[in-house]
Amino acid sequence: MRRDAPILAGLVGVAVLLSFFTGSTAARRVTKPAGTAPVVARTLVCPVVNGLPRHTASTATVSDVGPALPTPPHGAGTVTSTVLAGAKSVTSTVRVRPWAAVHSRGLQSEAVAFSVNGTLAASLAADEVIETTAGRYRGLAGGPCSAPATDWWFAGGNGKLGFTDRLILANAASTDAEVAVTLWTPSGPDAAPRLAAIRVPARSRASIGILAVAPDIATVAMHVHADSGAITAAVVDRRSTGLQSDGGDLVPPTLPPSRHLVINGFPAGPGTRGLVVTNPGSADATVSVKVVTPSGEFTPSSLQQFVVGAGKTATADVTKALSNHAGAVILSSDHPVIGAGEAIVVPGGRRLRPDLEWLAATKPITTPTAAAVGHEPDGGRCYLVLSAPDGAGEVSVTTPSGRKTTISVPAGHAVTADITSTVKSGSGPWSFVVSAVGSAPVYAVRELEFDGAHGTMITAEPMTPLPQPIPLPAVRQDPRLAAR
């Protein structure tokens, strides 16, 4: 044993020298846990705060939902609102106690940007609601106010007669943005020269009619990409037959191309239900369909699968598959596609006018989500459409005032919950938070609906995740730095 000691000491010495030159020490492998940084600044843009057409009023609402979060933060900060009008932009300080609103001006089409600095940024939600109460564009529309981004995907838009659809590009930054828009139609990609290079000036809003760039083309899908800067994009869909309204809504941005999409939020009741699926790739895509309803999840015999040609947009009717039930549609494709859902809600009376809602492919709830508005402008109802295709789910609905309810969703089923009594709170916007409660993935859509003397008013919006703390890179100890 004693004779082995010098050999052992020599081996240890060689190992130490090698570790010094190679850096392969145990100490170097020690990695401190990555930390997080709080969210202390955000910009949320409401691109469609319209007082046009006539009989239209819009409200952009910002709300602090911090008290409704599972772990309520002590948020503080300043909030400003800016009406984006180029050199004539006006910025005002907003007191969010616990909410504030900016209203449209008569016969004006505007965009509003909310900017927040401070820890309040992590618990702020913003929505826009647009209501046209009479005339050929009667309808209810709405959606979340979103942070600027470089890419937006839309599977909806129409250039046919009877549609007054517009693409809205809002730039809240202090520098110009350069934007390119790619179109796909039922006949293939459409290269509109006007869309190849669009300059959106600083603190301004651009509006492009779909009819002008895709005349007489139905079912247009779009990819909006900012080559420089970042923008917030929206698509407004309005329909009419003569002087009679056929409804309208905002087409929500959908997920980027994927082989698996869940489009949740189809409402119950009569009317047509459809899908818009776009294949931006160079090979045909075969798309399989499943539906999730209160009766369960199944493959409909009326629509098991369909093919979307390379570079084309296709539609599919799921009215019979859903059979007047609320729920979701699951798309599985052998090539990446984008998709959206469309629901035309028809009231019972023959002379009453319909309305419509658009639905996006979304991700399930994994972190707290919020809606700044649960208050239908005419005193209608607020619903949650929930789907749990992968297993039993459960969500909690909490308001800043402390009201709370829990909703269970059986595995492979959809549930529609009337949450009006939970979120109702005086004359305010009725903000609320929806969180998953240790369950399988749940998809959630907020729906506002009113059945009036002239017909249905309806709009839907996917529950929007609140920002989470920013992950910081891991820190590793490296003794070589100290030795050198």
Alpha helix (H) ranges present in 317-419?
319-322
Give the number of other Cβ atoms within 10 Å of residue 406's Cβ.
Answer: 10
Contact assessment for residue 282 and residue 311, using Cβ atoms and an 8 Å cutoff: yes
Q: Please give the model's pTM, rounded to 2 decimal places.
A: 0.91
pLDDT band at 484 (very low <50, low <70, confident <90, very high): low
Per-residue pLDDT of 415-434, as tens digits, reads 999 999 999 998 899 999 99
**Quick check: 28 pLDDT over 90?**
no
| Closest by CA position to 61, among listed 78, 49, 50 | 49
Q: What mean pLDDT do residues 237-256 have?
A: 96
Per-chain mean pLDDT for the chain: 92
Query: Exposure pattern of 318-350 as b/e (b: 16+ CB <10 Å)?
Result: bbebbeebbbbbbbebebebbbbbbbbbbbeee
Share of the chain above pLDDT 90, in %: 85
Tokens of 227: 């080559």
| Closest by CA position to 308, among listed 213, 185, 222, 153 | 185
* β-strands 305-308, 296-298 pairing: unpaired
Q: What's residue 128's pLDDT?
A: 98
Tell me the chain's radius of gyration from C-alpha atoms.
26
Per-residue pLDDT of 335-393, as tens digits, reads 999 999 999 999 876 678 999 999 999 999 999 999 999 999 999 999 999 999 999 99
Could you give the 3-state DSSP secondary structure of residue 396?
strand
Max Cα distance, the chain (Å): 105
| Closest by CA position to 112, among listed 54, 168, 195 | 168
| Rounded Cα distance, 7 and 5, in Å | 5
Q: What's residue 217's pLDDT?
A: 96
Per-residue pLDDT of 5-24, as tens digits, reads 444 444 444 443 344 334 44
Tokens of 167: 């693409």
Burial of 73: CB neighbours in 10 Å, binned 0-12, 13-18, 19+:
middle
Tokens of 332: 């599985």
Q: What's residue 483's pLDDT?
A: 56
| Closest by CA position to 449, among listed 371, 400, 391, 381 | 381
Tokens of 57: 């009023």
pLDDT band at 481 (very low <50, low <70, confident <90, very high): low
Per-residue pLDDT of 442-475, as tens digits, reads 999 999 999 988 899 999 999 999 999 999 988 7
Give the number of other Cβ atoms within 10 Å of residue 263's Cβ.
Answer: 29
Q: What's residue 473's pLDDT?
A: 85
Q: Where are the domains of the chain?
A: 40-466
Cα dihedral 482, 37, 114, 43 sign: positive
Q: What mean pLDDT do residues 280-293 have?
A: 98
pLDDT band at 222 (very low <50, low <70, confident <90, very high): very high
**Quick check: 3 pLDDT over 60?**
no
- In angstroms, what CA-CA distances link 64 with 67, 165, 314, 399, 420? 8, 32, 40, 10, 19
